[in-house]
Structure 1
Amino acid sequence: MVDKTIVRGKTATQVMFLVCGLALSSWAPMVPFAKDRLGLNDGELGLLLLFLGGGALLTMPLSGFLIGKVGSRKVILIAGLIAALVLPVLLMVTNSYLMAGVLFIFGCSIGGIDVAMNAHGVQVQNAMGRPIMSSLHGLFSVGGLFGSIGLGFLIKMGLNPIYAAVTIAILLVSLLLLQYRKLLDYQKEKEIIVRFSHIDETKLSKDKFQWFRWSVLILGLMCFIAFLSEGAMLDWSAIFLRDHKGVSSEFTGIGYAAFSIAMAVMRLQGDRLVSKLNSHVVVIGGSLLAALGILIVVGSPWLSLTLFGFVLLGLGAANIVPVFFSEGGRIEGLSPTIAIPVISTMGYAGQLAGPALLGVIAQYFSLIIAFETIALLFIVVALIYKFRK
């Protein structure tokens, strides 16, 4: 019988993944408003967006240190409240320099809640003795869909954009405050870490220099590749469909939509898949399926088959990252508060680097070669996972 505290902790963790996805994706519909209000060109907007990613990257390693000191639920609460409070401000700022600062703070809050909720999810999973990470990441994707659609829907209904953002912020704060007490407290988290990572409790705060352990870095590298591929799909799939498949501009988002929906559905079913199969089948098989999907996208002469390739890509890639986070939380002799921030940071760095890498390859060769490079990288993930020690 699973402890009721753990069951409540699982429910609260699910809500936190939903909150993070909702908060981050609510920014997407705000981008055009921010661009027009600040009078930015595409290059200036791209530079400004780097502050969001930079804030997240800076905070992720720091979050691990804070989790080790005060527990993940306090980090989730503080980071979540900051994200909710900053969200409406993103629609109020009229100065580019101030906007950069606000975006940086927003990125810091997203980075903080991302690491803390994954660390908390891993500990709940270990305590329950069965996989839950795939469905948690699936709920993040669901939050992402609701966030990007919800804010736009409120604005479409005639609500002032700032009031719409305030409405989303109130929802985020309400969910955080309602679920905060159900998250595992600091003492319970330490008990789980000691039990499942086989660490002496007196050494929990002394293992901060073990970031460069090979078992952590190899998971981080594979996570870097997986996130790189996802980021590349987000920024380049529409351009690929327009320039190489002749899809009209208003429908070019259909490829990423097919990829995203397939990934969300597969992640919501992923825990059962991991339980019935094993991590090797999920990661190696998923990587090869994702690679096949990209090759179909590139080589198909028919749009319907191309979209099927995007679906295969989403299905294959869906549960790879959750498996990496799960394994990061079970490394012998190492606290998840060390492993999870490293894996998260390397993964997020890949998501930021992916679009730029594809841009360089497309510039010197072609976008088709760039997409084929992603397929090759998924094959590399399969090989690394199969032969790692």
Structure 2
Amino acid sequence: MTDNAGVIRADDARPLARLAASAKSVTAQRRATRIMFFTLGFGTASWAPLVPYAKARLGLDNHSLGLMLLCLGFGSLLAMPVAGALANRFGCRAVLVCLSIVLACALPVLSVASSLPLMVTALFAFGAALGAYGVTVNIQAIAVERASGRPVMSGFHAHYSIGGILGAAGMVGLLGLGTPVLAAALCAGCILVIALPIAGPNLLSDKGETGGTLFAMPKGIVTLIGLLCFVTFLAEGAMLDWGAVFLSSTDGMTASTAGLGYTVFATAMSAGRLSGDAIVARLGRIKLVMGGGCCAGLGFIITTIAPTWPLALVGFAIIGAGCANVAPSLFSIVGRQTRMPESDAMSAVSTFGYGGILVGPALIGFVAAATSLHIAFLGLACALGLVAVCARYLPR
């Protein structure tokens, strides 16, 4: 309020000061949330270059390595349903700080473990920390987006993608320069720890009124959100696990260059997420989910029918652009539904989504073995089309 001369009256000064302080606080919370998404992507990707070293150190064949890597997935699947209750009981800040320390400690152990029991234990703990971290940081993101009063979720997930790219590139660069594996893993762990005093003070410390459900199961509309997340992450997992196989077996690319497909996909996804918040502000999340599902489905069709690999790569880029903002939008919509508490709903939806990454590639393999990889990819196009159709029933 101002007087006729445009001067702020004394009785209104303190409310305006509180408003300015609140805006500053929300800005700091957004910055802290971006940092935590970045460190999640960085920590996750830092493990990937260590896998060949673990395989050689333990003398594993491909089958044994695949079974060992399931421990990471099982750890995540078991931790996700309880992560919401932990965040509700102790606050996002306490949970994220503890999980960051677990990740930072697990990476060096994974880099030097020479016995299978120790590797399995460390991998399970690493996977559990990643799963619980993903749920908790998205609970944090929902609250910060609500306080911001504008879309910011896609930008948060963009920082996860950027962290993943830099984490993998950084580890590959260090190892390529001859850095000992343990030293490279310690460097990655240090970055996770260094981020804590920067972001930690501005993470949310509020606790819920109740302890939350210990093992969250989806109910009502949350089940639909979870299923849509399952399909979306299934498509992303297909690009990661089957993209190079598809390009090398059907489009004539060499095995050494077929990995370019996932690079194109990941780059398009990162670019899409960086621009996603502006698109959400213009179109809304429901339309974005519908358009993203259609776009990703079209990308799979183009990839499948492409006569040459350059055109197939165009399809990979379209898939990445389409998938980019579907999952962030679905996570944001979790905060709009009223069927379940947010923390429980996020745990349930995240479990569904990660299930798509974990189980999906195997399902694609079964379909490909029974028919062909082309049919499997066309099936994904149809599933993504259903995502677009079902999005109309999401909370507005």
Match of 2:186 among 166, 181, 184: 166
Whole-angstrom CA distance in 1 between matches of 2:24 and 2:141: 16
Residue 3 in structure 1 maps to residue 23 in structure 2: yes
Q: CA offset at residue 97 of structure 1? A: 2.2
Candidates 343, 346, 354, aligned match of 1:337? 343
Shift of 1:350: 0.8
Partner of 2:155: 135
2:119 equivalent among 76, 87, 99 = 99
2:323 is matched with which residue: 304, 317, 324? Answer: 317
TM-score, length basis structure 2:
0.92
Identify the residue that residue 377 of structure 2 maps to in structure 1.
371
How many percent identity over aligned positions? 39
Distance 2:160 2:393 in 1: 31
Partner of 2:313: 307
Name the counterpart of 2:304.
Answer: 298
* Contact map agreement 2:50 2:111 (CA 8 A) in 1: yes
Residue 261 of structure 2 is aligned to residue 274 of structure 1: no
Confirm or deny: 8 A CA contact 1:6 1:184 kept in the other structure: no
Once residues 222 and 103 of structure 2 are traced to their aligned partners in structure 1, the CA distance between those partners, rounded to angstroms, is 29
| Structure 2: distance between partners of 1:314 and 1:180 | 32
Q: Secondary structure at the match of 2:179?
A: coil
Whether the 8 Å CA contact 2:45–2:167 is kept in 1: the answer is: yes
CA distance in 1, matches of 2:155, 2:346: 18
Amino acid of the structure 2 residue aligned with 1:320? V
What displacement does 1:207 show?
A: 6.5
- The answer to whether 1:326 aligns with 2:346 is no
Separation in 2, partners of 1:77, 1:126: 22
Query: In the aligned structure 2, how far is the partner of 1:231 from the partner of 1:133?
Result: 21
The alignment partner of 2:111 has SS state of coil
Following the alignment from structure 2 to structure 1, what is the Cα–Cα distance between the partners of residues 279 and 121?
42
Instruction: Report if the CA contact (8 A) 1:56-1:112 is conserved.
Output: yes
Q: Deviations over 1:335-372 (max 9, x none)?
A: 21111111111100111011101100011101111111
How far does the alpha carbon of each residue in 1:218-267 deviate from its partner, in whole angstroms, 9 at most, with x for none?
10010011001111110001011011001011100011111110001100
In 2 relative to 1, CA 304–157 (structure 1 residues): closer, same or farther, beyond 3 Å? same
Aligned-residue offset at 1:7:
1.5
Cα 1:208–1:55 change in 2 (3 A) is closer
Greater C-alpha Rg:
2
The Cα offsets for residues 66-113 of structure 1, whole Å up to 9 and x where unpaired, read as: 111111111111011100111011011111222111100000111111
Partner of 1:289: 295
1:370 and 1:277 map into 2 onto residues whose CA distance is 31
Q: Which residue of 2 aligns with 1:198?
A: none
Counterpart pick for 1:175 among 188, 195, 207:
195
| AA in 1 matched with 2:236 | E
Q: CA RMSD in A?
A: 1.5
Q: Check if 1:349 corresponds to 2:355.
A: yes
Alignment match, 1:193: none
Say whether 1:62 aligns with 2:82: yes
The offset of 1:387, in angstroms, is 4.4
* Gap runs ≥5 in structure 2: 1-18
Determine the C-alpha separation between the residues in 2 that align with 1:160 and 1:367: 39
Counterpart CA distance in 2 for 1:132 and 1:291 is 25
Residue 111 (1) aligns with residue 131 (2): yes
1:224 touches 1:349 (CA, 8 Å); kept in 2? Answer: yes
Closer/same/farther in 2, CA of residues 309 and 209 from structure 1, 3 Å limit: closer
Q: Deviations over 1:45-75 (max 9, x none)?
A: 0000000011011111111111111111111
Secondary structure of the 1:249 match is coil
Question: Does structure 1 retain, via aligned residues, the 8 Å contact 2:85–2:343?
Answer: yes
Query: How far apart are the structure 1 equivalents of 2:259 and 2:171?
Result: 18
Cα offsets for 1:170-228 (capped at 9, x unmatched):
111011232111112215xx5xxxxxxxxxx5xx4466787432111110010011001
Q: Residues 98-247 of structure 1: matches in 2 within 5 Å? A: 98-186=118-206, 190=208, 201=209, 204-205=210-211, 211-247=217-253
Give the AA of the match of 2:346.
I
- The answer to whether 1:83 aligns with 2:103 is yes
- Tell me how far apart the structure 2 counterparts of residues 317 and 210 of structure 1 sit (CA, whole Å): 26
Q: Which residue does the alignment assign to 2:3?
A: none
> 1:121 and 1:87 mapped to 2: Cα distance?
26
- 1:3 & 1:388 partners in 2: Cα distance? 30
1:32 maps to which residue? 52
Change (3 A) 1:369 1:252: same
Kept after mapping to 1: 8 A contact 2:41/2:162? yes
In 1, Cα distance between equivalents of 2:330 and 2:298: 21
Relative to structure 1, is the Cα distance of residues 324 and 278 closer, same or farther in structure 2, using a 3 angstrom cutoff? same
Q: Is the alpha carbon distance of 1:162 and 1:304 closer, same or farther for their aligned partners in structure 2, counting shifts above 3 Å?
A: same
Count, aligned residues: 375
**Matched residue SS, 2:256:** helix
> Structure 2 counterpart of 1:178, which letter?
I
